[in-house]
Chains A and B, each alone.
Chain A
Amino acid sequence: MSDIEFEGLHVRLGGRTVLNGLTGELRGKAIGLLGPNGAGKSTLINTLLGFHVPSQGSARVFGLDTQRDRARIRQGVGYMPENDSFIGNMTGVRFVRYMAELAGLPAAEALERAHEALFYVGLGEVRYRKVNTYSLGMKQLIKLAQALAHGPRLLILDEPTNGLDPLARQRMIQTLQAIRKEGSIQLLISSHLLRDIDQTCDEVLILKDGRIAALCDIEQERRSQRNFIELEAAGPTEAFCETLRSLGCECASFAGGRIKLVVPDRIGSRDLYVVASQTGMQIRRMQRRRDSLEDIFMRAMEAEPARGELVHL
C-alpha cells in the first residue's frame, strides 16, 4: 500500500474548484510536488493534513482517511508550512519542545528530541535565542526542526527553500538529501524550483489547474527518454541524417550545420562518427544530454489532459 493516495479528489474553496478530480498514488521515498502558481499544490497538502474537506472523492495517508482519521495521520506527519509560522517570543528549543509535546511525546523525551532536532538542522548554537530574533534562513530551519522532532513517518515541506540565500538553500537541500538517504521518512516537497525537486526527489507529481498533469518516477522517466544529441557539422548533413534515420534515429537538420538527434540506446557516439565518415561529413562539436526535470515539466504544462486522465510522458 502506498502512503499517499487520492481517488477522484475534488476540493472547492471560496466557490472555486481548486483540486479537480485527482486520482493517483504516491509511492516514492521523496516526492516532488510541482506546478505553476494556483495549480493546487498547497491545497493538496492542506487536504492531506485534514485542513480542507474534499467536496468529492477522498484522500488517504498511511491508508487512513484524511477527514475521519486526521488526528492519527497528523501523529505521523511533520509539516513545514510555506510562510513564516512560529511563536516568536519563545526560545528555539522551547518552541520545538512544545510542538513535540503537542505531537504526543512525553515532556522529557520532547525536550531531548528538541535539542537533537535543532542540532540536526544546524541551529544548535542558537537554540536558546528567541525565535523572533532568527534570520529568515534560521526561521526556515526551525520550521524543519519542529517538523522532525516527533519522528514523523511522512515529512511534508511546502516551499522549503523559500527566501533562502544560495548557501542556506544548499544547506537545506543537503539536509533533505540526508533525511531521504536515512530512509525512515517519506518526503513530500512542494516547490516552484525544479532544481530543488531534481536534487531531492525520486518521484514527481505535476499539477496544472487542479489536475494531475504528470505523475512519474524521475529516474525511470529519464531512463525511458531517449538520448538527445546536438551536433555542429560541416558537409552533407542531409545524407548523414538519411543514414541515421534508416538506423532508427530521429534527426532534424538546421541552418549552419546544426543537427539535433534522438538516438536509441544501442547507438553510441562511435557509430555517429562512423556514419559521418561514410557520408563525408565532419563532426565539429557533439553535445549529449538526457531529459531534465525541466523538460518533463514543460511537456506536462504543454499537454492538456482530459479530465481525470494522466499525461503519459
Chain B
Amino acid sequence: MSIYKHEYRAYAGRLTSPWARLGVIVRYALAEAWSSRVTAVLLTLSMLPVIVYLVGIYLANNPMIRMLIMRGKSMIEIDPAYFLKVLQTQCWLALVMTAWIAPRLVSFEIADNALPILLSHPISRFSYVLGKFTALFACLSLVTWVPCLLLFAYQGYASPRPWIFANLHIAGGLLAGSVLWIALLSLLGLALSSWLKWRVVATGAIFAVMFIPAGVGGIITGVLRTKWGFLLNMPVMMSQLWQQLLDVPQTMRADRQLPGASILTVLLLMCGICVLMLNARIRAREVVRG
C-alpha cells in the first residue's frame, strides 16, 4: 500500500527470528553511540597511543633505524612489560569511552520512560540488556583488545626472530585482561546509567565508582596496615591482575600483592551487583511497595 492511502492493513509478511531482534537492539544502540561526534573524537584519541606504541615496535625491530638512531643498542625492549603498558593505557581510555557511551545507550530511554513500550514487544529484559551490553562491549573492544592484538601481530611480523609462538601467553593475557575489564566496564556503565536519568550525572558516577572506593581502600590499607584495602582500589587491583595475566614481575612489595583469586572474586562481585541493579531497574513497570 502506498503511504498516501490512509487505511490500515494487517501485516502478513515474514517475521525475523528472536536473535535477529537482539541484533536490532545492538544496531540501534551502536547507531546511538556513534551519532555523536564526541564518540568519534574519543576513538581517534584512543588510537594515538596505539600509533605511538606501533612506532615503538617499528623502531625496536628495524635494523637500519637501530643502527642509525640507537647505534645498535635496543633502547626499546618489546617484552610482556611493553604490552602491559599498551594494555593499561588502552584500558583506562576505555573507561573514558564507557563514561561517554554508556549513558547514551540507556539514559535517554529511561528518562523518556520508553521501557514499557520497548518491553511490550517480543523481546525479554535479558535480550534488551544483552543487546546494550553487546553494543558497548563492541565499542570498547575497538580501543582495547583489538589494537592490542594488532600490535602483538605486528610485533610477530616485524621481529626478525620467531616471536609469536614463543610469546602466545602475551596475546592470551592481553585478550583476557581486556575482556575482563571491558565486560566489567560495560555492566557498570549500563547499571549506573539505568539508575541515573541525567547523562552528565551518570558519566560522573562511572568515574566516581572507579576512584572514590580507591581512596577509601587507601585509607583502610594505611590505617589497618593490611593489603586487603587494595581490593577497593580498582587501578591497583587491575594493574596487579594484568601483571599476573601477562606474567610481568609485580611492581608492588610482596606483602602488598593480592592473590589473583581474590581479585577475580571482587570483579565477579561487582558484576553481580551490576546485574542486580539492572534487574531492579530494567522493568516495564515499577511496583510501589506498601
Contact = CB atoms under 8 A, between A and B. Distances in A.
Interface of A: 13-16, 46, 49, 51-52, 71-72, 74-75, 77, 79, 81, 83-89, 98-99, 101-106, 109, 112-113, 115-116, 119-120, 124, 131-132, 143, 146, 148, 150-151, 153, 178-179, 182, 184-185
Contacts of B113: 83-85
Interface string B265-290: 00000000000000000011101111
A129 to B, nearest CB: 15
Contacts of A151: 9-12
Given A74-B120, A87-B108, A143-B117, A15 B9 contact: no
Most central of B10, B116, B118, B288 by chain A CB within 10 Å:
B116
B21 A101 contact: yes
Contacts of A14: 287-290
Contacts, number: 118
B264 interface: no
B282 to A, nearest CB: 12
Nearest to B28: A98
14 contacts: A14-B289, A16-B290, A46-B284, A51-B285, A71-B123, A72-B122, A74-B120, A86-B112, A87-B109, A99-B118, A102-B21, A103-B122, A109-B13, A116-B3
Contacts of B119: 51
Contacts of A99: 117-118, 121
A85 B121 CA distance: 13
A88 B21 contact: no
A120 B116 CA distance: 23
Contacts of A13: 287
Most central of A16, A75, A105, A178 by chain B CB within 10 Å:
A105
B251 interface: no
Nearest to B118: A102
A103 to B, nearest CB: 5
A99 B242 CA distance: 42
A144 B8 CA distance: 12
Contacts of A106: 13-14, 16
A16 B288 CA distance: 10
B289 A98 contact: no
A285 to B, nearest CB: 46
B91 interface: no
Nearest to B8: A182
A71 B285 CA distance: 17
Contact of B114 (A16, A87, A124, A148): A87
Contacts of B121: 74, 99, 102-103
Most central of A52, A77, A102 by chain B CB within 10 Å:
A102
B117 A146 contact: yes
B165 interface: no
A302 B46 CA distance: 70
A52 B9 CA distance: 31
B259 interface: no
A14 B15 CA distance: 37
